[in-house]
Amino acid sequence: MRTQLNTKNDPLEDIMNPFTLDEAVSLIYRLAVLKKDALQPGKKYSITQIGHICGVLTLNDQIEIVIKFHDEMRQFTKEEFYAQVKLLDE
């Protein structure tokens, strides 16, 4: 099986459809924060606010993203991910 990372410019395209395996895998090891904790540009996040995308799982025939935060692990469907999570630029 040959796998390629998803490098689409518009990740919000087809947000109502579940993650494909390529989309989910392309997000692994990226840093993220919850949108409710988002800061103004130029301010620094606390280490407890930053999570990293550490895995992909299949639940009820739907691919979900797993994010490890300082005090918890959470899983998100594609719709939940783009509604609640902000990816941090490198």
Position 67: which residue type? I
Cβ atoms of 89 and 51 closer than 8 Å: no
32 in a structural domain: yes
Give the span between the Cα atoms of 70 and 58, in whole angstroms.
23
- Domain total of the chain: 1
Tell me the per-residue pLDDT of 32-65, one tens digit each, with 9 for 90 and over.
Answer: 999 998 887 778 888 999 999 999 999 888 999 9
Q: Whole-model pTM?
A: 0.77
Give the span between the Cα atoms of 75 and 89, in whole angstroms.
21
> What DSSP designation does 9 have?
S
Domain that holds residue 37: 21-87
55 in a structural domain: yes
11 in a structural domain: no
| Residue 56 structure tokens | 């992909």
Q: Does residue 10 surpass a pLDDT of 90?
A: no
